Amino acid sequence: MKFIVSSSGLLRQLQALSGVLNTSNPLPILDNFLFIIEKGTLTISASDLETTMITHIPVESKASGKVAVQAKILLDTLKTFPEQPLTFSIDEKTHQVEISSDYGKYKLSGFDADEFPKMPVASDTSTLSVSSQTMLQAISKTIFATGNDELRPVMSGVFCQLSKDDITFVATDAHKLVRYKRGDAKSNNEAAFILPKKPLTLLKNILTNTENEIKIRYNNTNAFFEIDNTTLICRLIDGRYPNYEAVIPVDNPNKLTIDRQQFLNAIRRVGIFSSKTTHQVKLKITGSELQLNAEDVDFSNEATERLTCQYNGEDMEIGFNVRFLADMLSNLDSTDVTIEMSAPNRAGIITPSIEGRKINEDILMLVMPVMLNS
């Protein structure tokens, strides 16, 4: 079996797929890419049993066949070549792979393709299509708020709610929460499922480089994302997502509106001086002035800044984790943000200001307060 392929074209596809590979795999065969040649097309797959990614690339070939190729040595080799055609020759009995370039020949051992796990089949699926930019925004705006607690796997993914009116994406780690709704994306079927973080990160990288629609198919166990010449398959997280609506406070009479970038820069500066254990920054709001204060008593470090703002409500002091605030502010893109609060021990709600809200986009970020040091 023989085929000729562009070195840079192959490298680009393999680098996209390499994000699926784990450093330690339950099966040694998963350290390989699966190559399948058929009718002048090379289909390449990578899998970790939970996530599978498949891509197609045109090649010059009259033969058909398949082989598993060592991922690391192939990637390391391809990175050293300038753009040129490479000829791959595969011995179908020994599975050895020989690569011929303008510089010389390189032999590496391949493996029996039949050892590679079978791909999940898209049976009994429901389907919807979403714009790639909508999906990219949904992932970017929520994935940072997912949790890492292995004891609560449902909170390590992004919860998707599909309805005939909109699509809602939710992520939380119990300290912060993001709810992102799109009114321009709808589904004929109502459904809800939890997507793991790893495939969403891979999908985000793919969506950055395309403007085309993404086709999403899903059933009770898997989700299938098809875009351009790539398919990403992921196993859904099994479990019941917490009732996130119940934790969003409804009555928040104290409303602060402030320049987002100015506030973010101040938070980052003052946060350098915060305690390394609590990461606490104190917000003291009086009239049209916001005072930020952080201190690390153990090292006698302290910082204070004052900012002007618009504020309606009673004077109050509230503490937040500076990292959570910075994460949220940097994942919003409006000029001004509004922070709604009710009491120092209740969650704060961060949203784009009314002027900064986009049509068809509804984003709400919730951050839990930290107890203020007396």
pLDDT, one tens digit per residue, over 100-138 is 999 999 999 999 999 999 999 989 999 999 999 999 999
Residue 325 — very low, low, confident or very high, per pLDDT cuts 50/70/90?
very high
Three-state secondary structure call for residue 340: strand
The model's pLDDT over 54-95, given as tens digits with 9 standing for 90+, comes to 999 999 999 899 999 999 999 999 999 999 999 999 999 999
The residue from 186, 211, 245 where one domain ends is 245
pLDDT above 60 (res 227): yes
Instruction: Give the up-direction half-sphere exposure of residue 152: CA atoms within 13 A in the CB hemisphere.
Output: 13
Instruction: Give the up-direction half-sphere exposure of residue 178: CA atoms within 13 A in the CB hemisphere.
Output: 26
Q: What is the mean pLDDT of the chain?
A: 95
Answer whether 294's CB lies under 8 Å from 280's CB.
Answer: yes
Residue 45 makes CB contacts below 8 A (sequence gap 6+) with 17, 33, 34, 36, 52, 53, 54, 116, 119
Residue 247 makes CB contacts below 8 A (sequence gap 6+) with 177, 347, 366
Assess whether 241 and 252 both reside in one domain: no
| DSSP conformation letters of 169-227 | EEEE-SSEEEEEEETT---SS-EEEEEEHHHHHHHHHHHTT--SEEEEEE-SSEEEEEE
Assess whether 138 and 228 both reside in one domain: yes
Instruction: Give the up-direction half-sphere exposure of residue 93: CA atoms within 13 A in the CB hemisphere.
Output: 0
In a domain, 288, yes or no: yes
* Residue 210 structural domain: 126-245
Residue 265: both structure tokens together: 């820069």
Q: What is the mean pLDDT of residues 173-186?
A: 95
Residue 108 host element (H or E): strand 105-108
pLDDT above 70 (res 286): yes
Residue 87: both structure tokens together: 């000829």
Nearest to 364, CA basis, from 183, 168, 125, 226: 168
What confidence score (pLDDT) does residue 371 get? 83
pLDDT above 80 (res 373): no
Assess whether 261 and 236 both reside in one domain: no
| Number of residues that this document lists for the chain | 374
- Give the integer Cα–Cα distance in Å for 70 and 93: 17
What confidence score (pLDDT) does residue 372 get? 76
Number of domains in the chain: 3
Assess whether 318 and 359 both reside in one domain: yes
Assess whether 240 and 260 both reside in one domain: no
Answer whether 331's CB lies under 8 Å from 140's CB.
Answer: yes
Quick one: 245 exposed, middle or buried, by C-beta within 10 A (0-12, 13-18, 19+)? Answer: exposed
DSSP state of 369: B
Q: 51 - beta bridge partners?
A: 234
CATH of the domain at 25: 3.10.150.10
Residue 271: both structure tokens together: 């946060």
Assess whether 317 and 328 both reside in one domain: yes
Q: At what angle do helices 322-330 and 260-271 cross, to 10 degrees?
A: 150
Assess whether 65 and 144 both reside in one domain: no
Residue 9 — very low, low, confident or very high, per pLDDT cuts 50/70/90?
very high
Rounded to two decimals, the pTM is: 0.93
Assess whether 237 and 264 both reside in one domain: no
Nearest to 30, CA basis, from 43, 12, 17: 17
In a domain, 228, yes or no: yes
Residue 214 makes CB contacts below 8 A (sequence gap 6+) with 129, 130, 131, 132, 135, 207, 225, 226, 227
Assess whether 252 and 235 both reside in one domain: no
The residue from 70, 87, 115 where one domain ends is 115
Assess whether 41 and 142 both reside in one domain: no
Answer whether 95's CB lies under 8 Å from 107's CB.
Answer: no
What confidence score (pLDDT) does residue 281 get? 97
